[in-house]
Structure 1
C-alpha cells in the first residue's frame, strides 16, 4: 500500500477522532454551542500530519511492520498530542479562544492513537500470508496433501523465524505442525499458532502421532550432544533431518530457511556456546589487516570473520591463485563494502613480502600459512623447515620493521612433544613469534589448537569420499584419538585471543575431550544414511611422525584460565634465546643441503621433547649418491 494512501487515511481518522472527542464529551448537538471545533479540527489535521511526517511514519513499508515500527507510531502520537496541548494552551493565553475542555484533548489523543495504529496493523495483517485464512476448495485438495508436515526442534528465536518463513512462503510446501523444546515454560504454548507439544525426548512419540515427514533442527547454540540425540532418533524413525548452522557460522545472527542444510559431522561435535564479549574482535575494525594462507580453510574463515568486523582494508596473502580467487569472490559478494585485496606471494620470498608490507602497511597480521600434513613433511623435511620456520621468521622480521602492531600466529597440538618435522617446525615458529613479542613489547602472540573439522585436506572429506565409493574406510589405528573443533569456532576464538593479548603469550584453545577416529568414521557412515556393517573399516598402521594421542601442552606447563574459559594461557619451558639465534642459521643451511641427520640433531637441541620418527635418514637422492 502506497504511503500517500496511508496519509489520506490518517487525515480521515484524525478528523473522525476530533469529531468523536467532541461528540463523546458534549453530545451530538455540540455544533450549537462549541464554535472552537472547526479551528481545532483544522489545527489537528495540520499539526498531526506534519508531526507524523517528521517522525517518518510515511517512510515505512507497513506490510513488514515490526515492534520498532509500532514504537515509532507511539512516539509520533505522543509528539502530536504534546504539540496539540501546547497550541491549545497558547490559544487560551492569547485569547484566540475563550475556553477549551481538557477532557476533549485526552479523548482526541486516545482515539487518534487507536485509529492510526489500527490502519497500520490492518495493512500488516492484510499482507501477512501467515494469518490469512486460505479457502480449501475440493480441487485444491491434492495441493494441500502435497505439503510436507514438518516438526521444528527448538522454539527459540531461530525456530520462530523458521516457522514464520514457512507461513509467509507457501510455495515452500512446508507446514510447521509442532515445536519441540526443552524449556518447560514453553510446553503447551502456541507460537505463531504452532503448538509446543513436548521436549526433545518426546520426538519419537510426537513424530508418530502427528505423521511428521521431516524434522528441522533450529538450535544454533545447542551443543553437539543435543544435536546428535535428535539426529539419531530421526535416523531410527527414517525421517530426514535438516539443521540451521551453528552460532559461530551465523556471524550476523540472521536466520533463514535458505541456510538449512543436511546435518554434518561439525554439528554433532560442536560444543556449548560460551558467552563472549561483543568487543572481543572489534580491534580489527577500521584497521588494515593481512591474513597469510588466506586461500586455505582456516585462512579463508579468518578473512570472513575479519571482514564481518569491517576493517579499513583486508589483504589476502597466499601462494595458490585458484584458492585465493575463489575465497576472494565469495568475500566480495558477502561484504561488498569492505576493500579486499589479493596478494599472491610465497612467504619465503623476503623481497616480495617486504614489498607487500610497504604497499598496504598492515597493522594486524593473522599468520595461517603453513605446511600441515604430517607424513608429507616427513618425506619433505626441507620444506617444513624453510616454510614453517623460515617463512615465519621473514614475516615476523618484516612486521617488526613495518611497525605492525599485532601479530597472531596459528599453531597446532602437534607442536607438543613433537615426533615429526611438521610439529617441531611449528614449535620453533611459535617461539619466533612469541620471542618477537617479548623483545619488542608488541602484541605478538600464538594460538594453539587441535584438528579442525572439514578443513581442506583433513580426514573428514577423505573419509566421506571413501564412504561414497562404498568403502573401505582406512584408519591408521583403532585407538588413535584427536582433538577436534569446527573451523568457525576455532577462528572465532583465535580472533578473541588476539584481542586479549599483552604480547608474547601462548594461548591454547580448550578443545574438550579427544575423539576416537573410529568413532568419527562411524558417525560419518550414519550421517550418510548407511549402517556400520555396510562400510568396512580397514586399519593401515601408524605413519611416521604420527602419535596415537596428542597433547595440548607440555608436561609441567602452567595453565591459566582467561576471561573466556575456552581460551587458556599456557606457560611452557622456553628455548634459550642465544642458543636459538646460533642454531637458526645452521638449521636452515642443513635443511637446504638435505642433511636430515644434522637437522634432527639441531632440532633435538632446540626442542628437548622432540623425538625424530623412525624414517630412513637418507632421502632418495642421498641413497643414490651413496650407491
Structure 2
C-alpha cells in the first residue's frame, strides 16, 4: 500500500516514472473495483447498442435488479476463478483464460436463469443478444485493461533503463531469430533492447518485423548512421555454419559492434533464452559440430561397473569423471595427487550427482604399493589413465619428473590393470608424442609403447587402448586462458612465433571420443581423433583481442618471444612412418605406429627410471632418444645429443649405463 501511496504522491512531485516503476503490483481491491467498473461499462454499452437497434428489453421496470443480479453473478465467478489475483504488469494469456472462464460461467448461469424465468413468465429475464453482447464486451475490456497496464509499465521500465540497455540487432529472420527477438521484447527487465533485424536477404528491406525494421547486411554495415544506433549484433550460434559465424563476427567487430550469442536451440525457453545471452567467445569459433556418441555401447561398458580415473582432478580427467557419472557406474574412484583441485572436484560432483557413489583418493601413481591396495580393494572394470605431466618447458627443465609420472606412473597403473584383470585400460596421450621435439612428448611416446606392448603378453585379458589428440580448449595452462588474462591486463599478448599453429578440441568433445574409443577394438590400438583444421595462433590472438573490444597492435600489443625449449611450430597426430585405418566412427582412426616387444620396452623403462632416480638429465634424455628414435630436440639444451651416425647401445638390466659408439 505504501508503494501505491508513493506512486500517487510522485504524480505531484514530478518523479512519477521512477516511482511508478517501483510499484510491484496494483492492490487486489483496486483490480476488483476496476473490474466492477468494466462490468458496469459493459452493461451500459450492451444496452446502448440494443437501444440504437431499437430493441425492446424485457422487464423494463426492473432494470436495476437485473443489473445487480448480473454484477453479483459475475463477481461470484471472478472470486471463484480469482481473476483479480494475477499481477497485472505480468499478465499473460493464462489471465485471459481465467477471464473467459469467469465470464463464460456467468453467461451459462444467466442462460439457465433465463430458462427458468421464461418457464414462469413466458419470457426471459434478459434478451439473449444482451447476454452475448455483454459477454464479449466484458471479456474484451477486462483483457484490454490488463494488456494496456502491462504495456504501460513496460514502456516506463524501458524509458527508465534505456540508457543502460544494450541495443541489439538480431541476425536473421528465421523462426528461431523471431522467437529470440520476441523474448527480448517480452522481458523488459533484461539488459537488451531490440532495435532491428539484419539479414543477408535483400527482399525484406521495406518489411517490418515485430515493429522493427529489417536491414540488409551490406546496407547495414556500410551505413555508419545506422550502425551507430546499435551496440551489438545477436547471433544464434547453433543455426549457423562456422564460416557464417566467422563472417558475421568479422563484419560486426570491424564496425565497432559487439557480438552476442544466444543459447543453444535446445534451451530456447522464453526468459531462459534471453537470460542465457552471452558475449561470443573464441571457443565458439573453434568449436565444431557435436560428436555423435554411441551411448548404448558406452552405457553398457560403464553401467553398474567400478571405474578408476587417474589424474581425475585435471582438465581431462575431471570431464571424464563427469561424463562417466552419467552412465550410473556402481563406483567411480577419482585419483589425483593434487589436493586442492581434488577437494574442489569432490564438492562439485557430490552436488551435481547426489545419487552416484564416488571415492576420492589422494595418491601418487608412481607409488606402486599405494596403487596396488586400491586395485585390490575395488576390482575395476574400466581404468581411464589421464594422469600426466604435460607442460613442455617445465618438463624440459625437469626430465626426471616426466619419467616418474609419465613413464613409471603409467607402467604401474598398466601392470596393475593386467594383474587384476581390468576389462579395459584407456590411456590419454597427446599429439606431442608424435615425432617429439621435447621431453614431455618423448615420455608420453614411451608410455604409449609400454602400454601397447602389454596387449600380447602371456596371460593378459585386459584390452589396452591408447587415445591421442591435440590441444583442448580451456584446459589448465592452455593458450586461450593465458591470452585472456593478458588481454584483461591490457597486454601485451605474447606469442612464441608468428607461424606457430595448433589443433584444438573442446574438453567435452575430447572426453566423449575417449569414452567412445574405450569401447572399440581388440586392444593394442592407438586411436587418433579428427582434430579438424589447424589454427594459426597469431590469428587466434587477433580474434580474441577483437572479441574483447580492442584493436590488435594498437590498443593491445602482440609480442613475439621466441619458441620455448622443446616447442615446435606445428603438432602432428601421426608419425612419419605411420598409417591410419578408419573405424566405424568418422571422428576416430587407428594409427599403425611402430611398436616394441614387452621385454625390450620393459628393459628400457627400467633403465630410464633408474637414471631418473639419479637425477641425471643427460642420461635420462639420452635413453629417451634410444627408446624413441624420432625424438629430435628443438630449441633445447639436449640438441647436442642429436649427433648423426651414432648408435645408442643399451646394456643389461643390471647396468643402466649407456655407450655411444661411432660408426
Structures share a fold, TM > 0.5? yes
1:372 to 1:140, Cα distance in 2 relative to 1, 3 A: closer
Q: Does 1:480 align with 2:500?
A: yes
Q: Could you tell me which residue of structure 2 aligns to residue 602 of structure 1?
A: 623
- Note the 1:352-363 alignment, pairs <5 A: 352-363=370-381
- State the aligned residue count: 489
Distance (Å, rounded) in 1 between the aligned partners of 2:178 and 2:638 = 61
Distance (Å, rounded) in 1 between the aligned partners of 2:537 and 2:516 = 29
1:158 to 1:361, Cα distance in 2 relative to 1, 3 A: farther
1:141 to 1:392, Cα distance in 2 relative to 1, 3 A: closer
Q: Does 1:466 align with 2:483?
A: no
Q: Which stretch has the larger CA shift, 328-337 or 540-549?
A: 328-337
Distance (Å, rounded) in 1 between the aligned partners of 2:326 and 2:202 = 36
Q: Could you tell me which residue of structure 2 aligns to residue 490 of structure 1?
A: 510
Distance (Å, rounded) in 2 between the aligned partners of 1:338 and 1:150 = 43
Q: Could you tell me which residue of structure 2 aligns to residue 584 of structure 1?
A: 605
Distance (Å, rounded) in 2 between the aligned partners of 1:241 and 1:408 = 40
Q: Could you tell me which residue of structure 2 aligns to residue 7 of structure 1?
A: none
Q: Does 1:574 align with 2:590?
A: no
Q: Return the offset for 1:134.
A: 3.6
TM-score (norm 1): 0.68
Q: Could you tell me which residue of structure 2 aligns to residue 287 of structure 1?
A: 305
Q: 2:344 aligns with which of 310, 315, 326?
A: 326
Q: Which stretch has the larger CA shift, 158-167 or 420-429?
A: 158-167
Secondary structure class of the residue paired with 1:500? coil
- Note the 1:269-348 alignment, pairs <5 A: 269-279=286-296, 281-282=298-299, 283-348=301-366
- Note the 1:436-585 alignment, pairs <5 A: 436-439=454-457, 440-534=460-554, 535-585=556-606
- Note the 1:96-495 alignment, pairs <5 A: 134-136=150-152, 142-143=159-160, 145=162, 149-153=167-171, 162=180, 166=184, 169-172=187-190, 174=192, 204=221, 208=226, 211-220=229-238, 222-244=240-262, 256-279=273-296, 281-282=298-299, 283-439=301-457, 440-495=460-515
Report if the CA contact (8 A) 1:162-1:257 is conserved.
yes
> Residue deviations 1:78-106, cap 9 Å, x none?
xxxxxxxxxxxxxxxxxxxxxxxxxxxxx
Report if the CA contact (8 A) 2:375-2:416 is conserved.
yes
Distance (Å, rounded) in 1 between the aligned partners of 2:306 and 2:215 = 50
Q: Return the offset for 1:293.
A: 1.3
Secondary structure class of the residue paired with 1:533? coil
> Residue deviations 1:136-193, cap 9 Å, x none?
37866725856655444477897677557546644325455666788999999999x6
> Residue deviations 1:24-51, cap 9 Å, x none?
xxxxxxxxxxxxxxxxxxxxxxxxxxxx
CA RMSD, Structure 1 to Structure 2 (Å):
3.9
Report if the CA contact (8 A) 1:223-1:269 is conserved.
no
Q: Return the offset for 1:324.
A: 1.5
Distance (Å, rounded) in 1 between the aligned partners of 2:567 and 2:465 = 26
Distance (Å, rounded) in 1 between the aligned partners of 2:218 and 2:518 = 40
Distance (Å, rounded) in 2 between the aligned partners of 1:132 and 1:444 = 69
1:183 to 1:593, Cα distance in 2 relative to 1, 3 A: farther
Q: Return the offset for 1:559.
A: 1.0
1:323 to 1:181, Cα distance in 2 relative to 1, 3 A: farther
Distance (Å, rounded) in 2 between the aligned partners of 1:365 and 1:194 = 59
Distance (Å, rounded) in 2 between the aligned partners of 1:340 and 1:185 = 59
From the CA coordinates, give the structure whose radius of gyration is larger.
2
1:165 to 1:418, Cα distance in 2 relative to 1, 3 A: same
Q: Return the offset for 1:398.
A: 1.7
Secondary structure class of the residue paired with 1:342? strand
Distance (Å, rounded) in 2 between the aligned partners of 1:279 and 1:187 = 49
Secondary structure class of the residue paired with 1:289? strand
TM-score (norm 2): 0.65
Report if the CA contact (8 A) 2:618-2:638 is conserved.
no
Report if the CA contact (8 A) 2:578-2:591 is conserved.
yes
Report if the CA contact (8 A) 1:242-1:263 is conserved.
yes
Distance (Å, rounded) in 1 between the aligned partners of 2:170 and 2:631 = 51
Report if the CA contact (8 A) 1:280-1:495 is conserved.
no
1:153 to 1:335, Cα distance in 2 relative to 1, 3 A: farther
Report if the CA contact (8 A) 2:433-2:445 is conserved.
yes
1:600 to 1:257, Cα distance in 2 relative to 1, 3 A: same
Report if the CA contact (8 A) 2:170-2:197 is conserved.
yes
